[in-house]
Amino acid sequence: MADKLSEIHKVLDAENKLLERFDQKAISLLSILGVFMVFFVVYVRVLPVNPFTVTLVTFYILCALGSILSLIMTIRPRVRSEKHPVESTPPLSEPAFFMGITKFPNASEYAKALDEFVSSNENMVGVYTRQIYSIAQINTTKNKNLQRGMLLVVMALATELVLICYLFINYMGSGAIPPIF
């Protein structure tokens, strides 16, 4: 049984590491997008107003807002629990999961539940299995939001590069350098 619990802990640890990686990637992408948005703010005021630039600026803003929303949803996902039939109903408070721990009224009640939890291998397997399943559901949602956010960040940055290239081509055609300040 110790080998079984060891394997369960490995799976739980792997799911928790994935959870952290999704958050790190989302924060990095938000930072990158923020840096490039500063460049966009500098150049947007010198863009010539025509249907092409208005379309691109609108597309850029929509992509940037969509990516921000998706990346925030990666960091703070909304997971809807689905009701799946299970052979046994989970306990009201699980002593190994943070939300379960906070439902205990005091430390002594938690200590009793924790003692009961560690005394039965079947209880531990059940609790850890539910945790793995819950974290996997969260990871699925985070992955979907991160993928969408990455695509929108790339689209926003590509649009920004097109706008900057258009700006320089437009000004270079007239023999001038675009004013930055």
Q: Residue 28 has which token pair? A: 């990095």
Nearest to 37 by CA among 145, 152, 179: 152
Query: Residue 20: inside a domain, yes or no?
Result: yes
What's the mean per-residue pLDDT of the chain? Answer: 84
Query: Residue 180: inside a domain, yes or no?
Result: no
- For the chain, give the percent of residues with pLDDT over 90: 39
- What pLDDT was estimated at residue 92? 53
Query: Residue 147: inside a domain, yes or no?
Result: yes
Distance CA 124, CA 120 (A): 7
Query: Residue 135: inside a domain, yes or no?
Result: yes
Nearest to 39 by CA among 157, 119, 177, 173: 157
Report whether 19 contacts 135 (CB < 8 A): yes
- Domain tally for the chain? 1
- What pLDDT was estimated at residue 1? 57
Q: pLDDT tens digits for 94-141?
A: 666 666 777 888 888 888 877 877 777 777 778 788 888 888 899 999
Distance CA 133, CA 125 (A): 12
pLDDT at 63 over 50: yes
- What pLDDT was estimated at residue 93? 61
Q: Which domain holds residue 18?
A: 2-79+94-173
Q: pLDDT tens digits for 135-155?
A: 889 999 999 999 999 999 999
Dihedrals φ, ψ of 83, to 5°?
Answer: -80, 115
User: Which is higher by pLDDT, 6 or 92?
Assistant: 6
Nearest to 4 by CA among 121, 168, 138: 121
- Which pLDDT band holds residue 85 (cuts at 50, 70, 90)? very low
Nearest to 139 by CA among 6, 14, 7, 5: 14
Count of Cβ atoms closer than 10 Å to residue 141 Cβ: 17
Distance CA 54, CA 47 (A): 9
3-state class of 177 per DSSP?
A: coil
Query: Residue 69: inside a domain, yes or no?
Result: yes
Query: Residue 126: inside a domain, yes or no?
Result: yes
| Mean pLDDT of the 64-76 span | 95
Query: Residue 116: inside a domain, yes or no?
Result: yes
- What pLDDT was estimated at residue 119? 77
Overall size of the chain counted in residues: 181
- What pLDDT was estimated at residue 144? 95
- What pLDDT was estimated at residue 155? 97
Query: Residue 85: inside a domain, yes or no?
Result: no
